[in-house]
Structure 1
């Protein structure tokens, strides 16, 4: 198997997922700021529905992370500095941002310390997915040999059952009479890897059996291209009929929706001869955008929220473009400092060369 085969599709997938995260947060903050007199009920339902559909984005990062691991190391040993390298450029920025997002709570100081510990230890801010990624890093190191021995159909079925059972427990069972029960049911259940296990397994088998995965995409292209319409309809039906009111990426029905949206984007990207520069650029800055965008959305809304009165739904787009561009600019300039990559994440040089040359990126360089 050729370990240097181009995996350009992942850059398209990552950039779209990154922008979707920013857009869904822009919609959420925007809808809360726009006066009801400036938006009709129909328009509100439309934007709220679109927000729900964009929740496919967070699972994409789990899928991509494991896809690359399974693909890149399917014929060679994982290097000894694997965790150290990722802790340096993922975990350290995560901890810095945990501190950064705790600053507004630092009056009194004890509350700031408490918020930082909550952010850093149990992911009490939007960067929580880094903690999930690291759980899967450990899981991959401990179980990748076992996964190779298991039939993919069986492995995927078991992981899907575990994932559905876990999420269903927190969706449909009232909080137990235990300490911190409300917090666990409202947020902390996001952190244990069981809530994302299916995406990890899917990423592993798609990466490890890459050639077979591509053949299946092509073979079932009609299903791949049409399924997102069906999953979107199901998702919105459950949501608007009040059968499942959870407003997050941790819904049970998101499992199906996220999977087919990922496959849809992957299929489209697979037929691209070259990666458009915009996807490469956003992919390059994706970690910085993910970490910083929420700050810029909140900051703009705090200082200029009065614009929502006149702009209406256009305010959502302003929040989106301002937070995305500001996050990219901040990441760019902070990385010029010697230790900047420990604060906002590292900008991969290989992607920089790719943008300049507009050539394909090799997975071995990731």
Structure 2
């Protein structure tokens, strides 16, 4: 029989979640900054540092998926209106996705679109919307939309296993399915398939499972932060070693054979879980603090959805500006400058936009009147 008592996680705001969003959006920007190491023609120390940073930071999207599962299960569990559920999901993500698909289609194709007939531009826009191709970071929306669609089925399956006291078995099944799917993407059989929600199903399930055990997670393991950090760094080195072998054999990153990535796929789930626990402990340590770090991470978390949507504009402009001064991805200074500029300008832009009428439908957040946030934000 399912426990029908009030879930303590429903009471008030869970500050740890906002902090985790803040850490997550910083990791996203790190990925989209350090990823330019792939354009450096020769393997060197700069490539190595950025590769390690990139592999470690890849926890970001799995973390956002986990948070989505956590918050959805917190609000929609045993009995809820499917109509209301889907209406709120559409409002929380589709307008923002469409607006930024249009904006990035124009941003990335303006030179071509100026000379194209209207019909050709509409076809390009429609293709980008359907395939989430307007910008390389919008693929996240195809994943989260699919998870929204299948959530009522997922939560029913989870509830069934939980009632049988076998929720852990379901987590194991989801992990196996996810690993097999990811391994398949690096083979000729699955290689042409686009990433979909199956690639993140375990993390979504872990979000639901974590909600059921949140108080236990919140009150235990505080002394294990150094262990989680050590494990995360060690697994980062282990997962990176396969790629390093490919680079030292003379391959460019984009030309490394797919089988070099099969080994890392076995490591990534453990690395992600360890990293989740590391940042959850860091988030717990920020609760109740009133220092500069707490304020920064909290603000970034509050505006993380909008920052995720808009940051590529500033990332690309920062890169273009530096390259005009002959500072490119082969220079050490390139990476911290691009990262810092992207974080600061993205936050300021989203903060200002939050005061606009209907800003919720653009960036998922509004500051006046009382903030109306999407139920599942990035």
Query: TM-score, length-normalised on structure 2?
Result: 0.78
Give 1:189's aligned residue: 194
Distance change >3 Å, CA 78–CA 262, structure 1 → 2: farther
Residue correspondence of structure 1 range 293-304 to structure 2 within 5 A:
293-304=311-322
Task: Tell me: CA distance 1:71–1:212, structure 2 relative to 1, closer, same or farther (3 Å).
Answer: farther
RMSD: 3.4
Q: What is the aligned counterpart of 1:305 among 323, 329, 339?
A: 323
Residue of structure 2 equivalent to 1:71: 74
Task: Decide whether aligned partners of structure 1 residues 98 and 258 sit closer, same or farther in structure 2, where only a CA change above 3 A counts.
Answer: same
Write the distance in 2 (CA, Å) between the matches of 1:228 and 1:85: 36
Q: Which residue of 2 aligns with 1:93?
A: 96
Which of 234, 256, 280 is the aligned partner of 1:266? 280
1:303 positional shift = 4.1
Cα distance in 1 between the residues matched to 2:333 and 2:127: 35
Counterpart in 2 of 1:204? Answer: 208
Query: How far off its partner does 1:198 sit?
Result: 0.8
Tell me the equivalent position of 1:144: 155
Distance 1:55 1:365 in 2: 18
Q: Is the 8 A contact 2:24 2:61 kept in 1?
A: yes
What's 1:292 paired with?
310
Whether 1:283 and 2:301 are equivalent positions in the alignment is: yes
**C-alpha distance in structure 2 between counterparts of 1:365 and 1:43, whole Å:** 34
Which residue in 2 is equivalent to 1:119?
A: 128
1:325 and 2:344 equivalent? yes
Q: Give 2:231's match in structure 1, choosing from 227, 238, 241.
A: 227
Q: Distance in 2 between matches of 1:11 and 1:320?
A: 21
Q: 2:15 maps to which residue?
A: 8
SS of the counterpart of 1:290?
Answer: helix
Measured after TM superposition, the shift of residue 159 of structure 1 is 0.2
Question: In 2, distance between residues paired with 1:74 and 1:350?
Answer: 29
Aligned twin of 1:174: 188
The separation in 1 between residues aligned to 2:376 and 2:240, in whole angstroms, is 39
SS of equivalent to 2:138: helix
> In the superposition, relative to structure 1, how do residues 78 and 224 fare at CA in structure 2: closer, same or farther (>3 Å)?
farther
> CA shift at 1:302, angstroms?
2.6
Structure 1 match to 2:4: none
- Give, in angstroms, the shift of residue 265 of structure 1: 0.7
- Work out which of the residue numbers 35, 42, 51 in structure 1 matches 2:54: 51
Deviations 1:177-222 (A, max 9, x none): xxxxxxx63xx521x2111111011111011232344466459767
| Structure 2, gaps ≥5 residues long | 1-6, 247-257
For structure 1, list consecutive stretches of 5 or more residues without a partner in the other structure.
177-183, 354-362
Asked if 1:42 is matched to 2:15, the reply is no
Alpha-carbon offset, residue 260 of structure 1: 1.2
Aligned counterparts of 1:288 and 1:50: Cα–Cα separation in 2 = 23
User: Among residues 83, 86, 92, which one is paired with 1:83 in the alignment?
Assistant: 86
Alpha-carbon contact 2:37-2:47 (below 8 Å) kept: no
Corresponding position: 1:60 with 2:71? no
| Structure 2 equivalent of residue 157 of structure 1 | 172
Q: Where does residue 26 of structure 1 map in the other structure?
A: 33
After superposition, what is the alpha-carbon deviation per residue over 1:21-66, rounded to whole angstroms, capped at 9, x for unaligned?
Answer: 112212224774x8x7xx9821222122212221111111100111
Tell me which moved more, 19-28 or 211-220: 211-220
Tell me which of the two structures has the higher relative contact order, counting C-alpha pairs closer than 8 angstroms and 6 or more residues apart: 1
Q: What CA distance in whole angstroms lies between the structure 1 residues aligned with 2:22 and 2:94? A: 21
Match of 1:108 among 106, 116, 131: 116
* Cα distance in 2, alignment partners of residues 78 and 222 from structure 1: 44
TM-score when normalising by structure 1: 0.80
Paired residues in the alignment total 340
Contact 1:163–1:198 (CA under 8 A) maintained in structure 2: yes
Shift of 1:284: 1.4
State the match for 1:179 in structure 2: none
